[in-house]
Structures are given as structure tokens and as C-alpha cells.
């Protein structure tokens, strides 16, 4: 029994010796592992930026300061060392493993790992917060060092406009507006069905017919926005998470649809999304603290029409319809101007010509025609509203160095930015 205990004790010593930590082969100081977030953004992480360029595959359109958000650097301790970087899971990303071979001893290498983001979570991020990203460095399977990056993430609604670097150079990001134009949103199919039942147009044909047909399709989309009750709701032009950056809050397509609220930018991206779905070519014109919509009436991009989207706030068709039906229920025999309240008649009467108003008051114009007539006249006003402004600023829009005035052609921008969804 004594011999058995001695043998067992010896075996335990041998077994435990086999599992002792191996001595370190590489000196962490020599490897000098570092992990960093792009200094341009001053530790502000924009989910919209990551989601907007996530599908970018053509390196010809790669944007250096978006493809290089996170970087890791190491010095090769031996030739042909195998580097492995593990990025732990966080509220923003899944576990990510990055691996490369370092051919030359003592050479310094920098890499930009592609992180596996939790895109659904990024999209749902509507408040700013803090996240910790942990980077672990291995050389030839030996753990060398661990670095933690704490970043301040922004709401997915925050669209970066511009950032000024430490040398004073301004980096323009207004092209990111195009990421909020979402022609792929599942709501749009039912919206197009509703548009076809409005009675404004008989078919949706994109550029298959003439310019008149294109304008009619845009007017039908306009009428839908009025019937939906999309009202103007201002959000401050920019917020400033840092002293060097400008940011615009933009509502997503479904937020505009559900809340029925939009500022100038929100309305532009909402209407442009529907235009893109039916094959039209919208443009968003961005000025200091304002934006309005444009679209080509021909496939060849020769003729441009404008649309001031905030004019949808001049009408409240859901309230108008409720008012009308309340009066008709109370007095089914109501005729002419008695079919609508004095307040509504005063408000919408000014959007009618004298002849149109006379027809309404005489009772020869039905309620549906009344609304379509008001919508048409507002559409004409919205078309003309920014004409002089566009002519005066045309040179500014064409100047690539002018970051305050941007002409954002959504079709062209699809080469570098995809819809956020």
C-alpha cells in the first residue's frame, strides 16, 4: 500500500509538471503590440458610417478614412511569424479573428482588421453609449499582449457631415446622406400599391415614357406623402460630439413612415427612396442647414426638376379628411362650402385658383378632386420654390472643394455607399 502511494504521488508530480505554463518565447516589449481607433474621429464611432460602406467591394471606390477605422501594429520577433489577433465580443461586434504572416524579422507591420459587426444591433442603436473592444495579440500561438479600446458610439441616426483633422483640413462626409435613402425598404411595396389606388396615375413606369409621365409619377408620390400626413418636424441642423465634427440627425424610412414627421433631410431621403424604387434618379441638394430634392425627368440626365419637400407641411390631409367626414356625418345634406369647416376652407382655399374655389363652393367639385387639386397646386409651388436658389448656388454645387454645398446624386453614390437596413 505504501509503494502504491509513492507511485501515485510521483505520477501526480509528473502530470502536474506537464501542465506547467510554458516559458515565454517572445518579449512583448519587442513585439510592441498596439491597437488604435482612427484619430480623425476623436474616439467617436458612427454606426451609420460602418453600415453605409459595409457592402463596398470594389477597391477602386475604397475610402481610406473609413476602411481604416481600427488598426493593429506589431513588430515581427522572428521571420515568418504567424500573427493572430482576436477581438472579443462586445455589444457592437461578434468575436473576430484576424491572422497574417509577418515575413521579415524586426519589421513593423500595421493591419486594418475587418471586424464582424452586429449589424442588427448597430441599426437599433438610437442612443449614444460606450463600448469596450478588447484586442488580444498572439505570435505563433503564444499570447503576447492585450489592449482595450473604449469608444463612444453614436446613434445610428447620426449622419457624419464633416470632420476637420489636426492640420485643419476638412474631410467631407455628406455623401453618407445617401445611406439613408433606402429603396430596398419592405414598406415601399405596399406604399406603391397605395399610390396606384390614389387615382393620380394609372401606372408606374419609371423612364419608359416621356418626361410628363415621370413628373406625374413624382406628383403621385408627393400626393401619397400628403395623404400619409408627413408633417415638418425640425431637428437641429447639427450636433457637435467634438469640436471638429458636424453631425446631422436623420430619421430612417420607417421612422418617417410611422411618426409621420420629417425635417427637410428626412423628407428628401423618404421621397428619394420611393423614387429609386420605381427607377427614377433623385438628387439631394445640401446647403448649410437645409436640403431639397431634385430628380431627372429623362434617363439621359439632361433635364432636372426640383422639389421643396418641406411644403408637405402646408397641408394636413388626414385632419382635413376627418373634418370633412365629421361634417358630412352631422349633416349629410351639406352642400358647397358647408361641407368643410370655415377654418379648413380658409386654409386650403388659398391653394386654389378662383375658378377652382368657385367649383368647390358651388358643389361641382367632389372631395377627392378637391384634395388632388390642392395637392397639385402645392406640388407646383414645391417645384418652383428652390429655382432661384439653385441657379444662384449652381457653381457652389459644382465645386468639389466646397463642403457647404453638395449635389448628392444617389445613383452615382451607390458605388460607395449602400442603404442602411
The topology (CATH level 3) of 158-308+386-413 is C8orf32 fold (3.10.620)
β-sheet bridge partners, residue 307: 293
pLDDT for res 360: 86
What strands lie across the sheet with 245-249, from one edge to the other?
170-172, 158-164, 245-249
For the chain, residues classed under CATH 2.60.40 are 30-153
Distance of CA 214 to the CA centre of its chain: 26
* Helices first, then strands: H and E counts in the chain: 15, 17
pLDDT for res 363: 84
β-sheet bridge partners, residue 296: 304
- Asked whether 332 and 251 are in contact (CB, 8 A), the reply is no
CA distance 201 to 273: 19
β-sheet bridge partners, residue 136: 86, 146
Instruction: Out of 133-137, 160-164, 393-397, pick the least confident.
Output: 160-164
Question: Mean pLDDT: which of 144-153, 324-333, 340-349, 394-403 is highest?
Answer: 144-153
**DSSP sequence for 146-184:** EEEEEEEEPPTTEEEEEEE-TTSPEEE-GGGGGGG--TT
Helical axes 264-277 vs 187-196, angle rounded to 10°: 80
- Asked whether 78 and 104 are in contact (CB, 8 A), the reply is no
Percentage of residues in the chain with pLDDT exceeding 70? 90
For the chain, residues classed under CATH 3.10.620 are 158-308+386-413
CA distance 311 to 384: 11
Instruction: Tell which wins on pLDDT, 276 or 406.
Output: 276
Distance of CA 326 to the CA centre of its chain: 40
Looking at 174-316, list the stretches that DSSP marks H as alpha helix, in order from N- to C-terminal side: 187-196, 211-228, 253-259, 264-277
β-sheet bridge partners, residue 86: 97, 136
Please give the model's pTM, rounded to 2 decimal places: 0.87
Question: Does residue 11 surpass a pLDDT of 60?
Answer: no
Question: Mean pLDDT: which of 58-72, 96-110, 330-344, 389-403 is highest?
Answer: 96-110
Residues 6 or more apart whose CB falls under 8 angstroms from that of 388 comprise none
pLDDT for res 60: 44
pLDDT for res 127: 92
| The CATH number fitting domain 30-153, selected from 3.40.720, 1.10.540, 2.40.40, 2.60.40 | 2.60.40
Question: Does residue 13 surpass a pLDDT of 80?
Answer: no
pLDDT tens profile 144-186: 999 999 999 999 999 998 888 888 888 888 889 999 999 999 9
Q: For residue 373, report the phi and psi dihedrals to the nearest 5 degrees.
A: -70, -45
Distance of CA 55 to the CA centre of its chain: 14
DSSP state of 93: B
What confidence tier does 288 reach under pLDDT thresholds 50, 70, 90?
confident
Burial class of residue 143, CB neighbours in 10 A (0-12, 13-18, 19+): middle
Altogether, the residues listed in the chain come to a count of 421
Amino acid at each position: 500500500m505504501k509503494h502504491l502511494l509513492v507511485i501515485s504521488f510521483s505520477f501526480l508530480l509528473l502530470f502536474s509538471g506537464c501542465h506547467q505554463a510554458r516559458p515565454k518565447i517572445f518579449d512583448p516589449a519587442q513585439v510592441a503590440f498596439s491597437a488604435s481607433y482612427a484619430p480623425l474621429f476623436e474616439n467617436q464611432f458612427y454606426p451609420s458610417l460602418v453600415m453605409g460602406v459595409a457592402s463596398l467591394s470594389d477597391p477602386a471606390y475604397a475610402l481610406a478614412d473609413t476602411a481604416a477605422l481600427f488598426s493593429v501594429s506589431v513588430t515581427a520577433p522572428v521571420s515568418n511569424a504567424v500573427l493572430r489577433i482576436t477581438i472579443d465580443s462586445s455589444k457592437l461586434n461578434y468575436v473576430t479573428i484576424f491572422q497574417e504572416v509577418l515575413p521579415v524579422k524586426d519589421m513593423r507591420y500595421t493591419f486594418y482588421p475587418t471586424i464582424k459587426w452586429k449589424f442588427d444591433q448597430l441599426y437599433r442603436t438610437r442612443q449614444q453609449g460606450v463600448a469596450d473592444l478588447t484586442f488580444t495579440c498572439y505570435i505563433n500561438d503564444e499570447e503576447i499582449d492585450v489592449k482595450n479600446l473604449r469608444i463612444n458610439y453614436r446613434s445610428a441616426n447620426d449622419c457624419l457631415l464633416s470632420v476637420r483633422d489636426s492640420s485643419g483640413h476638412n474631410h467631407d462626409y455628406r455623401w453618407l446622406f445617401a445611406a439613408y435613402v433606402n429603396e430596398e425598404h419592405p414598406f415601399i411595396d405596399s406604399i406603391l400599391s397605395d399610390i396606384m389606388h390614389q387615382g393620380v396615375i394609372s401606372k408606374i413606369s419609371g423612364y419608359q415614357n416621356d418626361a410628363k409621365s415621370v413628373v406625374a409619377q413624382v406628383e403621385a408620390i408627393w400626393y401619397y406623402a400628403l395623404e400619409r400626413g408627413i408633417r415638418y418636424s425640425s431637428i437641429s441642423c447639427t450636433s457637435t460630439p467634438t469640436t471638429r465634427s458636424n453631425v446631422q440627425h436623420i430619421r430612417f424610412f420607417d421612422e418617417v413612415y410611422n411618426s409621420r414627421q420629417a425635417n427637410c433631410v428626412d423628407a428628401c431621403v423618404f421621397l428619394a427612396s420611393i423614387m429609386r424604387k420605381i427607377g427614377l434618379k433623385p438628387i439631394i441638394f445640401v446647403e448649410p442647414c437645409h436640403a431639397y430634392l431634385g430628380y431627372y425627368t429623362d434617363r439621359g440626365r439632361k433635364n432636372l426638376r426640383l422639389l421643396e419637400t418641406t411644403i408637405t407641411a402646408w397641408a394636413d390631409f388626414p385632419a382635413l379628411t376627418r373634418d370633412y367626414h365629421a361634417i358630412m356625418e352631422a349633416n349629410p345634406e351639406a352642400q358647397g362650402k358647408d361641407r368643410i369647416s370655415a377654418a379648413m376652407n380658409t386654409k386650403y382655399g388659398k391653394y386654389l385658383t378662383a375658378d377652382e374655389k368657385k367649383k368647390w363652393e358651388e358643389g361641382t367639385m367632389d372631395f377627392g378632386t378637391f384634395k388632388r387639386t390642392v395637392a397639385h397646386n402645392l406640388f407646383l409651388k414645391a417645384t418652383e420654390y428652390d429655382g432661384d436658389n439653385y441657379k444662384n448656388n449652381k457653381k457652389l454645387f459644382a465645386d468639389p472643394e466646397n463642403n457647404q454645398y453638395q449635389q448628392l446624386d444617389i445613383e452615382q453614390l451607390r458605388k460607395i455607399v449602400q442603404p442602411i437596413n
